Structure 1
Amino acid sequence: MQYLSDNGYTTLTLKQFTDIMEKKAAAPDKPVLLTFDDGYADNYEIAMPVLKKFNFKATVFMSPGMVDDGHYINWDQAKEMHAAGWDIQPHGMSHPHLPKLTAKQQAHEISEAKTQIEQMLGTSADVFCYPYGERNQTTIRLLNELKFRYAFTIEQGVTTAEQKPLLLRRIFVNGKDTVEKWIAKLTQ
């Protein structure tokens, strides 16, 4: 985060990101959408204070069915993160391997996560992140039917407006990568 701050990167909210993708707004010189998958408790305990220090924005993709697990953010933490400017979006109810599920099970995983986030946080939940990066044609069809605007994969690369909206790429940040390796991914 220090590198991003020192080198003039601007973190985006999902609204800013979607406005740029839809050509409703111009992108800043060095835009970055920070995304956190799974909704682990350390997103609240560690990432949120660090991002607050830099006045950075971020998005967390959570699985509402995991809120009572203890290893994941709970609703009070999600509400606090949302109030602090974090975007909270669905990652399935229970972080499932979606292609292994029936269409009915997938529909429940996706729609129930969307519904719970919208009800608990009073926000629109229309951006999805595929658990494990996995999906099939049923998943894509369901996201379309449920009016999801965008969905993120784990395919490596910079997100561009030329990509299919439900198959967006991201730069994966691995905790084992050196800072130099991460910078190389970011600046390629």
Structure 2
Amino acid sequence: MRLRGLSRLRKLWRRLRRSIVPQRGAIILCYHRIADLPQSPRRLWVSPQRFAEQLEVLTRNFVPLSLAELAERLQEGKVPDKAVVITFDDGYADNFWSALPLLERFGVPATVFVTTGLVGTEREFYWDELERLILGETVKGRNGETEKGRSGNLIGQELRLEIRGRVRQWKLTNDEERLKAYHEIHDLLTPLLPEQREAVLQQLRLWFGVSENGRPNYRLMTVEELVAISRDGLVDIGAHTVNHPDLTAIPPEQQRWEIETSKRQLEEWLGRPVRWFAYPYGSGNFVTRQLVKEAGFEVACSMSLGFVTNRSDPFWLPRIFVENWEGDELVRRLGQV
């Protein structure tokens, strides 16, 4: 009796210890752009030099795995400690220009999650277009004259926008007001339906007197570049919806369309199954996860902070957002997770 009681106590202690000291496991890192963009307010970039530093320390301190390898280990219940998986969200063209050569140099696999609606277009993501218009070096006022942006003779007018039936306004007379306007408008656009978001952007284009065409170095990859970046197998492609909505803010049927259409488009372009998905903004709920599963994906990545362990939900894998840190700083931060 005492032995059985002792056995129960040991099992209870192991269960309690796991709840207090979580299992260390694999880390999934989330990148967006590999480019020098020091003025970018959303910190979605890592310079090529810093990315090389990060890859060097990651290969020295961790075992790089592809997302496919991690999914297989998770299914087997054998997720290794000290493993790292590299992912990129959105599908910017600099993933092809700048990230791929460095990944090849260090032999590190990666997965790029692509927002299909902007592939092959000259359009920018709404947060980049907002930056170009509101924080750009030069902007064009309603009178058609080009006026200074970040410094100098700033536009003295108030920007007025109708968003969901309400007129809002912002002053743009100095850098601080412009940055405040940028963040507030960004936060208002994020939960909107794609067509609502586009209506606000069109108001902005008219106010600033510009077209919808974006900067060449802010575009997404073309179909040809998607094929090329994934041809040798070092880089895999996953889906990231069509229009990059907050899926929890739109009806289930529209969620389904965004999820399934992005998968179908990528499979048509690449000629092979697309098995991985990443939630825009890392945002999803139970309904979203079910829709991703029903669409035929095997794994989905969130932005919840943490390690991937044997007990992780394959449709809600945690990731860690990476900024333009030095290599040693990245390792230090990973040690604090």
TM-score (norm 1): 0.89
CA distance in 2, matches of 1:84, 1:25: 27
Who is 1:76 aligned against? 224
1:164-179 equivalences under 5 Å are 164-175=313-324, 177-179=325-327
Contact kept? 1:13, 1:59, Cα under 8 Å: yes
Who is 2:211 aligned against? none
Who is 1:185 aligned against? 333
SS in 2 for 1:4: helix
CA distance in 2, matches of 1:161, 1:130: 21
SS in 1 for 2:220: coil
How far residue 22 of structure 1 moved from its aligned partner, in angstroms, is 1.2
How far residue 137 of structure 1 moved from its aligned partner, in angstroms, is 2.8
CA distance in 1, matches of 2:119, 2:63: 30
CA distance in 2, matches of 1:146, 1:96: 17
Deviations 1:136-160 (A, max 9, x none): 2321121122232221111112222
SS in 2 for 1:184: helix
CA distance in 2, matches of 1:134, 1:161: 22
Deviations 1:11-69 (A, max 9, x none): 22232111111127674x64211001111111111111111111211100001111023
Who is 2:133 aligned against? none
Contact kept? 1:62, 1:90, Cα under 8 Å: yes
Q: Which amino acid aligns with 1:64?
A: T
CA distance in 2, matches of 1:161, 1:32: 15
Contact kept? 1:157, 1:171, Cα under 8 Å: yes
CA distance in 2, matches of 1:139, 1:32: 26
Contact kept? 1:150, 1:166, Cα under 8 Å: yes
CA distance in 1, matches of 2:305, 2:121: 30
CA distance in 1, matches of 2:335, 2:227: 33
Who is 1:102 aligned against? 251
- Is 2:95 aligned against 1:43? yes
Contact kept? 2:91, 2:220, Cα under 8 Å: yes
Q: Which amino acid aligns with 2:317?
A: L
Contact kept? 1:11, 1:58, Cα under 8 Å: no
- Is 2:217 aligned against 1:163? no
- Is 2:63 aligned against 1:10? yes
For structure 2, the residue ranges without an aligned partner over 5 or more in a row are 1-54, 123-218
SS in 1 for 2:302: strand
Who is 1:138 aligned against? 287
- Is 2:114 aligned against 1:62? yes
Who is 1:148 aligned against? 297
* Count of matched residue positions in the alignment of Structure 1 and Structure 2: 185
Contact kept? 2:237, 2:276, Cα under 8 Å: no
CA distance in 2, matches of 1:110, 1:54: 32
Larger radius of gyration: 2
Contact kept? 2:114, 2:238, Cα under 8 Å: yes
SS in 2 for 1:34: strand
